[in-house]
Amino acid sequence: MRERLEALRKEAEVAIQAADDLEQLRDLRVQYLGKKGELTAVLRGMKDVSAEDRPVIGGLANEIRSQIENLLAEKETAEREAALEKRLAAEAIDVTLAARPQPLGGMHPITAVVEQIEDIFTGMGFVVAEGPEVETDRYNFEALNLPQDHPARDMQDSFYITPEILLRTHTSPVQVRTMEEKEGQVPVKIICPGKVYRRDDDDATHSHQFYQVEGLVVDRGIAMSELHGILAAFAEKMFGMALETRLRPSYFPFTEPSVEMDISCIKCSGKGCRMCKQTGWIEILGAGMVHPRVLEGAGYDSERYTGFAFGMGPDRIALLKYGIDDIRHLYTNDLKFLRQFQSV
Ligand code: PHE
């Protein structure tokens, strides 16, 4: 009896050590300790043991039972931990792995320039105003002192939808819309960025669709010197360098007097090069003192208030600033071209 018990102890020890998953351990528990298990079977022979040996053998049997019990429990815990370790290792995320790059779009050069223009002017107290791209003849022409027979109204120059409605040919109508909304209040200090349309044949310097940023200041005592001061400050900020500026007389129906502003060439600083066609100067915008008829038409007393307006082309500024040789590049959506501006 004693030998059988000892043999069972050995056998169980070996079997439990050799088990390598929880299922095997469960089977071993049934095999040794279950109701039909081997230890139970041995103990069934207790009736044949002599009365004086019985306590000793019984004690031994109990000892072996609890020993097997402990071994199984230990091994089960070990197996459970090992299984957990294995799962954690399998599910581990390698945080040192380099991230897959997510391709991000870049800023279109025109958008970049428009935003820079907005930043510069809002920094000087201007407010951004917007208006519709489909405009009425009144806002696009009439209220801007462009009389009925003005050549700009020609079917050749403008995209008409009906005789009264057209795609705006400049952002100047937003001047008039804003002044009407303000109902004679001052100051007016706005810039109006947006798309405009003209029936030009597309070539290296013309596009039938392009951008403008219009500016308007109306208040008491606004003079030409304010116009020049603000636009000169703008140009230096825009191109990020010290510049000479000059105003040349020009003509726009909605300003009087009218001027064009040139800056000293950003490439040769005025010495003369291909960019400035050897003149040393580059024209960047049109401007002037708001025509009294425009002020009056929009509800402002031109005896009390004066103002200046200007209009510039972000496309042209983008061409100059980034050294682009053809305006059509800005509208053909060639990724090889556009990717060069991803960081601007
Ligand atoms: N609207 C003019 C143009 O399209 C530009 C401009 C605006 C000129 C305001 C003077 C004042 O050419």
Please state the atom number of ligand 1 nearest to the C-alpha of residue 212.
Answer: 4
User: Helix, strand or coil for residue 21?
Assistant: coil
Supply the mean pLDDT for the chain.
92
Q: Write the pLDDT tens digit of every residue in 292-328.
A: 999 999 999 999 999 999 999 999 999 999 999 999 9
Confidence (pLDDT) at 34: 87
| Same-domain status, 64 and 122 | no
d(CA 289, CA 286): 11
Q: Which residue is listed with tokens 């596009």?
A: 207
Domain boundary among 90, 123, 147: 90
Q: Is 256 annotated as a binding residue?
A: yes
Residues with a CB atom less than 6 Å from ligand 1: 170, 172, 214, 252, 255, 286-288, 309-311
280, 264 contact by CB (below 8 A): yes
Q: Write the pLDDT tens digit of every residue in 26-82.
A: 998 998 888 888 888 877 888 888 888 888 888 888 888 899 999 999 999 988 998
Domain carrying residue 8? 2-90
Please state the atom number of ligand 1 nearest to the C-alpha of residue 215.
Answer: 9
Q: Which residue is listed with tokens 């609890």?
A: 66
CA-nearest of 128, 131, 151 to 141 is 151
Residue 271 falls inside a structural domain = yes
Domain boundary among 90, 124, 150: 90
Confidence (pLDDT) at 39: 83
Number of compact structural domains in the chain: 2
Confidence (pLDDT) at 286: 97
Residue 103 falls inside a structural domain = no
282, 263 contact by CB (below 8 A): yes
Element (H, E) at 295: helix 292-297
Q: 121-148 burial by CB neighbour count: b if 16+ within 10 A, else e?
A: beeeebeebebeeebbbebbbbbbbbee
State which of 174, 191, 252 you would mutate to test the pocket of ligand 1, scoring each by most atoms of that ligand within 8 A of its C-beta: 252
Q: Looking at ligand 1, which residue's alpha carbon is closest to its atom 5?
A: 311
φ/ψ of 114, rounded to 5, equals -60, -45
Confidence (pLDDT) at 155: 64
| Same-domain status, 150 and 76 | no
CA-nearest of 249, 135, 126 to 188 is 126
Q: Write the pLDDT tens digit of every residue in 145-187.
A: 988 888 767 766 899 999 999 999 999 999 999 999 999 999 9
Distance 252 CA to ligand 1 centre (A): 7
| Same-domain status, 298 and 169 | yes
Q: Does 1 have pLDDT greater than 90?
A: no
Distance 17 CA to ligand 1 centre (A): 93
Q: What is the CATH number of the domain that holds 160?
A: 3.30.930.10
Q: Write the pLDDT tens digit of every residue in 209-224.
A: 999 999 999 999 999 9
| Same-domain status, 279 and 146 | yes
Q: What is the pTM of this model?
A: 0.71
Element (H, E) at 179: helix 173-182
Distance 212 CA to ligand 1 centre (A): 9
Please state the atom number of ligand 1 nearest to the C-alpha of residue 258.
Answer: 10
